[in-house]
Amino acid sequence: MDIGPREHRPFLVRVLRIVAILCLCFGIYQAINVGIFVSRERLSFGYFGNGRWATFIHRGLQFAHFASAIVLAIGGVGLMRWKRWARPVLMIWAWLQVGVYAGSNLAYTASYLKYWRSTTQPSGDPLWFYLWMFTSQIVQHSMFPLLVFFVLIHREVGALWAKPQRGFEVLPVETVE
């Protein structure tokens, strides 16, 4: 499989190294960030109200954010060490990250809508502002994962880890004169 001109390969390798470093740093930062928020909250679950399902959803989202950060850091280390498994791990992480943030923001939006409908005197910002804020957070938190995904999905990047084809090439028979 041809991956293009040979002069493009060193540039592509440098880009992948930069992506790997960013993934490692961002994964470590996210894990620390989730840890700080969990310890600060002391596992309070006021966002979704009180109840069994509210606690389950909140803990599940916290675990998903933390697990996502760990997978990102591991994928970044694997990509820096040029491991074959790092590319699919980071591509799956990208889609899971987008899904986790979308699910998290949808859950918070649903809890706010429940609060907003249950009162005659809602306090705080208007409903349109919260909807805009939750939508913009989904977009903001999806940019880096989608960037990583679109860098790694390229055929040229996949060819860097392609296994060499086994066998031999049959040469045409030429007559010697």
Helix 8-41, helix 127-152: angle, nearest 10: 140
Contact 107, 48 (CB under 8 A): yes
- Domain spans in the chain, listed from the N-terminal domain onward: 8-115+123-160
**Tens-digit pLDDT profile for residues 126-160:** 778 888 888 888 888 899 999 999 999 988 888 88
Structure pTM? 0.74
CA distance 28 to 137: 20
Confidence of residue 43 (pLDDT cuts 50, 70, 90): low
Confidence of residue 23 (pLDDT cuts 50, 70, 90): very high
Q: Who has greater pLDDT, 44 or 172?
A: 172
CA distance 138 to 132: 10
Mean pLDDT over 28-35 rounds to 90
Closest alpha carbon to 75 in 144, 124, 130: 144
Within 13 Å, how many C-alpha atoms sit on residue 152's CB side?
Answer: 28
Confidence of residue 47 (pLDDT cuts 50, 70, 90): low
Output DSSP code: residue 47: T
How many CB atoms are closer than 10 A to CB 19?
Answer: 21
